[in-house]
Amino acid sequence: MANKIEIGSKAPDFSLPDQHGKRVNLSDYIGRSNLVIYFYPKDESYGCTKEACSFRDNYEVFKEAGAEVIGISSDDIASHQAFAANHKLPFVLLSDRDKTVSEKYGVGKSLGVLPGRVTFVVDKHGIVRLTFSSQLNFEKHITEAIETLKNME
């Protein structure tokens, strides 16, 4: 059974390869940057493309709020590399092939079959400030994250 991450709890550390094969750790950001970590089902699927492009289109807003964006799915590095290039995504995509990180974050399946679509805002101290889950309301992940970051200032 997946863990449930509560607001106010410490975000679980992770180490995953990005779309270039470089290891990225949560601990790399602690003390330096707020994070918006979003888990999504599949590169190039309709909803995931809309969501990723919405994060891309608001990327400067996230940067101005002192946050870095990280997308995580179980797709492989090559898939992430193509997805990022195809849609000019300026942020990191991490490959969670065995779903250990999604399990640590309590991102289960939604509607019983689809990998979950969940967004977390983690502050500079590694504390979870938002968990938002919606399989179908893609853009609301972005607006909820921005609102949370603004309220943290």
Domain spans of the chain? 31-152
The answer to whether 73 and 48 have CB atoms below 8 angstroms apart is yes
Class level of CATH domain 31-152: alpha beta
pLDDT digits (tens, 9 = 90+) for 89-103: 999 999 999 999 999
Q: Pick the catalytic residue: 37, 48, 67, 72?
A: 48
Q: Is 53 a catalytic residue?
A: no
pLDDT digits (tens, 9 = 90+) for 58-117: 999 999 999 999 999 999 999 999 999 999 999 999 999 999 999 999 998 766 677 889
**Degrees, nearest 5: CA angle 100-89-12:** 25
- Global pTM reads 0.94
